[in-house]
A = this chain, B = another copy of it.
Amino acid sequence: MYKEDYPSQLLENAVNAIGSLPGVGTRSALRLALHLLRQPAENVHHFTKAIDDLRDNVCWCSECRMISDAPICSICDDNSRNHKQICIVESVQDVMSIEKTGQYHGVYHVLGGIISPINGIGPSDLTIQALKDRLDKAKADCGGTVLSDIEIILALPGDVEGETTAFYLYRQLSPYGVQVTAIARGLGFGDGLQYADSLTLGRSIAGRQPFKAQ
């Protein structure tokens, strides 16, 4: 039998590396390693270079903390967007999802996580101070008045942790005099009422809107 179950130390190293990715088990890692081994060497180098490049050269926007190729991301750098609307999201993926809707023309702020005592993530682990710095700067720019023309849109997950984070942010942002709104909660497009859970349906009724014929 092989020492450590692998016929090659190099294979074992690669399987361990690939298997360290979340959601990739040892068997899948072995399959992927052997797949890479069957590819031309230049394809494999292209694969690893793309990952190294991402890790080494990516920027985070100094305004909104979104992933970016430049110190200021293309959204924050876009003057045609409404810089008085700041949408607060948990992650990079959330920004991409909202951008895909084509319905939002403001800017963002990426928290980089969500307050979660169970996972040991507190407010100081998020980019909340950077958000306050943004608002302080806006306040200084407009001469120190309250920021009633700025709308902060909370677009956080609809679970307990998301609600906790929203509540915390609401308390932190109130002194700035900004308007704080939250994205609508309710029945998804195509959902049937009988399949919705009571919390969702309850919120959907409580958050009803004047009907608009389109």
For the residues of A in contact with B, the DSSP-based class is helix
Q: Are the CB atoms of A8 and B69 closer together than 8 Å? A: yes
**Restricting to A14-32, which residues have a CB under 8 Å from any CB of B?**
14, 16-18, 20-23, 28, 30-32
Per-position contact with B for A70-107: 1 when CB-CB < 8 Å, else 0? 00011100000000000000011101100110100000
Number of residues on chain A facing chain B (CB within 8 A): 60
* Nearest B residue (CB) for A66: B7
Residues of A near any B CB (own CB < 8 A):
1-2, 5-11, 13-14, 16-18, 20-23, 28, 30-37, 39, 41, 44-59, 66-69, 73-75, 91-93, 95-96, 99-100, 102
- Residues of B within 8 Å of A53, CB to CB, are 10, 13-14
CB contacts (< 8 Å) of A6 on chain B: these are 96
